[in-house]
Amino acid sequence: MARRAAKLPSGRISEVFAEDKERQGAYDLLESGRVDPAVLAGTLGEVTAHRSAQEPFVFVAVDGSSVNLGDQSSCKNFGSVGSLRQGARGLKVISALAVNPEGVPLGLFTQVWWSRMHARRQTAKQRRRRNHKRKVEDKETRYWLEAIEQTTACARAANAKLWFQLDREADNRDVLFKLAQTGQQFTVRSSWDRVVEATGNDRQHLRQWLSQKAPRGRYLLPISAGPNRMARSARMVVRWACVVLRLRTGQSHQTRPLRVTAVWAREQGTCPRGEKPVDWLLLTSVSVRSLQGAQAVVTGYARRWRVEEMHKTWKTGACNVEQTQLRSSQAVKVWATLLAAVAVRIERLKFLSRNAPEQPASTELTSHEIRALILLKRQAKKRTEVIPDTIPSIGQATVWIAELGGYTGKSSGGPPGSITIRRGLERLQPAAALLKALESEP
């Protein structure tokens, strides 16, 4: 089923399995309730840990997302997603994606799923007051802790070194303490202006305390274009210091110290009118002694975007998991986990072609896929092009795959993206399967 999903990725079973018997078999397996999605995620984690152990260290981008599954009649066992006013239904998930130091995805360490129970509408103040009284076991924070724990266990078994990267949603005392307990490196973008220990018994808020210190360096950060964001080279002003956070423990007014390095990088003088300047206050376990060290922390945090790009490819960009018509959360989790592995493969091809284009295509493609790709390219080549029989580079092979999917080069607006790669793989896989079948004939 995973191989077939890689050939024709889609959220709809009927679009992946064309024959009646195969389609019915897929439905029977998914709806049987006998396949544990946690076991599938654990297998992905083992493979990812093995890949990660080959690197000096890997970034682990941890991020939460919602899978909107369109249950208007509320007859399926899904939960609420998004705002209560919209009434959307689906599942919540946290993914932990391994990324090598150059930014190339290696695989998923884990995915943690849950259904959010329908809650009554509350103001932000009421929610904060209610959450303050609840134990961590009763909060969604426990799913973040579970994802961190599962990832750490996989890495420990393979002796892989991790550097966790988390966004503002993870600026939570329980998450921070959990990260510190793993013994791995971590960086969390600060969401709260936390209290820090200053001189003597004095206490100040972190941003105010850092702003009193002179900038310790400046550098240019490339910013890619995005929704409501212009591409530019942002002039970043950097401050950093070792600080001790005073974090409350539970419902009491007692505090517990956590020593971290605070790295504050803020754009100055290059932000276009109407946009907010880049402003990252990062809490990290890494000791920073120079501007180069501070830049490494900021660059590592920028790698966290890889998991958001994977979620987009998985949900709507190529695999379209949100289009599934499966009727139980268990079946959706199993099918979505298989599609998540496919989404990571697409993202891996995309970033290998951009970051390590000189590697041979055989690092990611089978011999039949490479041979089929060469033959298909020769059918569609330009008059002046010469397509050799030798193994192409991964960069060249990815461009050829994307061209099969409609990529037109510079006129497409940039390098090959997830959608054109997915379309190209749809055309490539049947040709590769035919070559393999012909090879097995006497």
Domains of the chain, by residue range, sit at: 1-167+304-344, 184-300, 357-440
**Residue 48: C-alpha distances to residues 283, 315, 418 (Å):** 26, 21, 21
The pLDDT, as a whole number, for residue 124 is: 58
Lowest mean pLDDT among 82-91, 165-174, 367-376, 397-406: 82-91
CA atoms of 300 and 285, how far apart (whole Å): 13
Confidence of residue 230 (pLDDT cuts 50, 70, 90): confident
The pLDDT, as a whole number, for residue 368 is: 93
Residue 24 CB neighbour total at 10 angstroms: 12
> What CATH number was assigned to the domain covering residues 184-300?
3.90.350.10
The pLDDT, as a whole number, for residue 254 is: 77
pLDDT surpasses 90 at 129: no
For residues 187-199, one letter each, b for 16 or more C-beta atoms within 10 angstroms of the residue's C-beta and e for the rest, the string is: bbbbeeebbbbee
The amino acid sitting at 267 is E
Q: Which CATH superfamily is domain 357-440 in?
A: Transferase Inhibitor Protein From Tn5; Chain (1.10.740.10)
* Max mean pLDDT range (39-48, 271-280, 406-415): 39-48
Mean pLDDT over each residue of the chain, to the nearest integer = 88
Confidence of residue 198 (pLDDT cuts 50, 70, 90): low
The amino acid sitting at 326 is L
Residue 147 CB neighbour total at 10 angstroms: 27
Give the helix ranges, DSSP H, for 32-92: 37-52
Confidence of residue 205 (pLDDT cuts 50, 70, 90): confident
Closest CA to 109 of 149, 145, 137: 149
Residue in the structure block whose two tokens are 């097995």: 440
Q: Do the beta carbons of residue 81 and residue 89 sit within 8 Å?
A: yes
Interacting residues of 394 by C-beta distance below 8 A, sequence separation 6+: 349, 352, 353, 356, 357, 358, 359, 360, 361, 363, 364
Q: Where are the beta strands (DSSP E) in 208-288?
A: 217-223, 232-248, 255-267, 279-284
- Helix, strand, coil percent values for the chain (each to nearest 5): 45, 20, 35
CA atoms of 267 and 147, how far apart (whole Å): 32
Interacting residues of 330 by C-beta distance below 8 A, sequence separation 6+: 33, 35, 37
Residue in the structure block whose two tokens are 């070194």: 161
Q: Kindly tell me the burial class for residue 338, based on how many C-beta atoms sit within 10 Å of its own C-beta (0-12, 13-18, 19 or more).
A: buried
Q: Do the beta carbons of residue 89 and residue 118 sit within 8 Å?
A: no
Confidence of residue 229 (pLDDT cuts 50, 70, 90): confident
The amino acid sitting at 268 is Q
CA atoms of 50 and 64, how far apart (whole Å): 24
Q: Do the beta carbons of residue 99 and residue 350 sit within 8 Å?
A: no
CA atoms of 249 and 120, how far apart (whole Å): 27
CA atoms of 298 and 422, how far apart (whole Å): 31
Q: Kindly tell me the burial class for residue 311, based on how many C-beta atoms sit within 10 Å of its own C-beta (0-12, 13-18, 19 or more).
A: buried
Q: Do the beta carbons of residue 172 and residue 250 sit within 8 Å?
A: no
Going by their DSSP bridges, the two strands 279-284 and 185-189 should be labelled as antiparallel
Element (H, E) at 164: strand 162-166
Is the alpha carbon torsion for 420, 341, 312, 326 positive or negative? positive
Please write the tens of the pLDDT for every residue from 312-345: 999 987 899 999 988 889 999 999 999 999 999 9
